[in-house]
Chain A
Amino acid sequence: MLKLSKSYVITVAFLLFSFSALFAQHTNEGEHAQASESHAAASHEEAFSAGDFVIDHVSDSYDWHITSWGETHVSIPLPIILYSKHPELHDGKAFHVFMSSKFHHGHDAYKGFKISQSEDFKGKIVELDANGHEIGKPIDVSITKAIAGVLASVVILFWLLFSMARSAKRNKGRAPRGVQNLLEPIILFIRDEVAKPAIGEHKYEKFMPFLLSLFFFILINNFMGLIPIVPFGANVTGNISVTMVLALFTFFVTTINGNKHYWKEIYNPDVPWWLKFPIPLMPIVELSGVITKPFVLMVRLFANMMAGHLIVMVFISLIFVFGSLFGPAVGLGASPVSIVFSVFILLLDVLVSFIQAYVFTLLSALYFGMATSDHH
């Protein structure tokens, strides 16, 4: 009991610390905004744009922004990998690999590429023709912030699970120890409460590695997204491309493992004949179900994680909104309220991280169960 409360205190302290780091980071942002404001003050009054601020922070980007101080931007450059269909515009080469620092935080063009500021391609890399006009996007497989975040999470995931595997091998047939104690209840939970009831006592083993990998991958990435210090804090599971790939994996595993009964239920379900002929109404419904299931998985995880990050960001940006509307004193006065709400939302996000990882895994397991069941 004592140990539990101790770990609880540590968790809370850690979150507070993380949050204060986040806060510090964005204070700097704010100052930057104000600084640029004073620079641009001559032409027109530029208010703090909460929308851009929030969206910038939950969006993917080509470099990993840490802080800005005045006009100095501190960020980790990430590799840009491009394949252009117009090599003549880029020194005659089609394939380009360079670091994002060459763009100088989106201000400069490099080798005929530029991070677009226009409506159509905002934030994407575009190709420029000889006159400096945007002519379209090259094939872009850059390591963006989300991918870098995934890689960081994968390193942690590997470290955790390999150390567990090592101690599992060493402690064969004995009581679990160390990291085993941390992860084993979760693994057992996935096995006994998710996989076994959803898939069935005899077939669940085949899907265990996938379900466990899925669960821990999502969980780690959810958590990493909540910690706002590099190399964490990338909004990985709140990125629709990432959740789409996870959902696609579930979809493919379901489809590959679908048995005769599963496909029969889709193409020839047990319904009155007039629902299948002459218009195959039910098969269409069933088939759309096959597609909507992973789609829903994708959207649910994305929306939940994105919403969590958005709300935290909105509460923080409130400080600067007040600051820019009524002066710094009011902004400072609003900050405790904002901080309390942000902490609350962050704590809620910890819960949501668990729930979303669990839900994604449970639903995947249910789909696998449907695909492999022998009868109703």
Chain B
Amino acid sequence: MGLVMPNPGTIIWMIIIFAIVLFILKKFAWKPILNALKEREESIAHALNSAEEAKKEVAGLKADNEKIIAEARREKDAILKEAKELKDKIVAEAKEKAAQEAQKTIDEARQQIDAEKTAAINTIKKQVAELSVMIAEKVIRKELAEKGEQEKMVDGLIDDIKLN
């Protein structure tokens, strides 16, 4: 057989065989193989994507966490500040109230003292008056034991009235 002359019989058989091979391989080999390859690639790409997304999510969570912590810290500071102010206010108020109370007590005490003093003075005045009258009575009794004396006194009194 000539080496470079195509042989019709071989060509016919080759066409039949290769066509059948193409058909069968396409249908039963390449389809599942290429599909499996594609599927695997897609699933890997998908897995990588979701890993990336998860990473982003975690980063987002971290940022969120930091934000939340900062917020909490700020809030804590605010609450502390408020509490301090409140305390100061309460203390101040308490001080003021105490001072007022003390003032009031002092005032009341003073008034009472004044009242007691007045009452005491009045009592003393009354006793002094009574004592004076008693003394005067005794003096007068002693003085006016003699008749001459009585007249002298009446005259003296009348003189005083005339003078007026």
Q: Is the CB of A141 within 8 A of B18?
A: no
**Given A245-B15, A246-B18, are A60 and B28 neighbors across the interface (CB < 8 Å)?**
no
Residues of A within 8 A of B32 (CB): 165, 168-169
**Given A141-B13, A161-B29, A209-B30, are A240 and B5 neighbors across the interface (CB < 8 Å)?**
yes
A138 to chain B, nearest CB (A): 10
Size bin of chain A's contact surface: 35 or more
In angstroms, Cα B23 to Cα A154, docked, is 13
- Which listed residue (B7, B17, B22) contacts A150, Cβ 8 A? B17
A164 at the interface (CB under 8 A from B): yes
Q: Interface-forming stretch among A171-179, A320-328, A364-372?
A: A171-179
Q: Is the CB of A241 within 8 A of B10?
A: yes
Q: Secondary structure of the A side of the interface?
A: helix
Which residues from 19 to 77 on chain B have a C-beta closer than 8 Å to any C-beta of chain A?
A: 21-22, 24-26, 28-37, 39-40, 43
Q: Is the CB of B9 within 8 A of A142?
A: yes
- Which listed residue (B10, B12, B22) contacts A210, Cβ 8 A? B22
Q: Is the CB of B34 within 8 A of A208?
A: yes
Q: Is the CB of A151 within 8 A of B17?
A: yes
Q: Is the CB of A241 within 8 A of B14?
A: yes
- Which listed residue (A60, A174, A187) contacts B33, Cβ 8 A? A187
- Which listed residue (A60, A173, A209) contacts B10, Cβ 8 A? A60
A306 at the interface (CB under 8 A from B): yes
In angstroms, Cα B1 to Cα A144, docked, is 11
A123 at the interface (CB under 8 A from B): yes
In angstroms, Cα B18 to Cα A213, docked, is 9
In the complex, the number of residue pairs spanning A and B with C-beta atoms less than 8 Å apart equals 125
Total interface residues on B, CB under 8 Å, equals: 34
Q: Is the CB of B5 within 8 A of A165?
A: no
In angstroms, Cα B13 to Cα A152, docked, is 14
**Given A144-B7, A240-B5, are A168 and B17 neighbors across the interface (CB < 8 Å)?**
no
**Given A143-B13, A213-B30, are A60 and B7 neighbors across the interface (CB < 8 Å)?**
yes
Q: Is the CB of B14 within 8 A of A171?
A: no
B19 to chain A, nearest CB (A): 8
Q: Is the CB of A59 within 8 A of B9?
A: no
B148 at the interface (CB under 8 A from A): no
**Residue of B3, B6, B9 with highest tally of chain A CB at under 10 A:** B9
Q: Which residues of A are interface residues toward B (Cβ below 8 A)?
A: 55, 58-61, 81, 122-124, 139-144, 146-147, 150-151, 154, 157-158, 161-162, 164-165, 168-169, 171-174, 183-184, 187-188, 191, 205, 208-210, 212-213, 216-217, 239-242, 244-246, 248-249, 302, 306
29 A-B residue contacts at CB 8 Å?
Answer: A60-B1, A60-B7, A60-B10, A140-B9, A141-B8, A147-B14, A150-B14, A151-B17, A157-B25, A158-B24, A161-B30, A164-B33, A165-B29, A169-B32, A169-B36, A172-B39, A209-B30, A209-B31, A210-B22, A212-B25, A213-B21, A213-B22, A217-B18, A241-B14, A244-B6, A246-B18, A249-B18, A249-B22, A302-B4
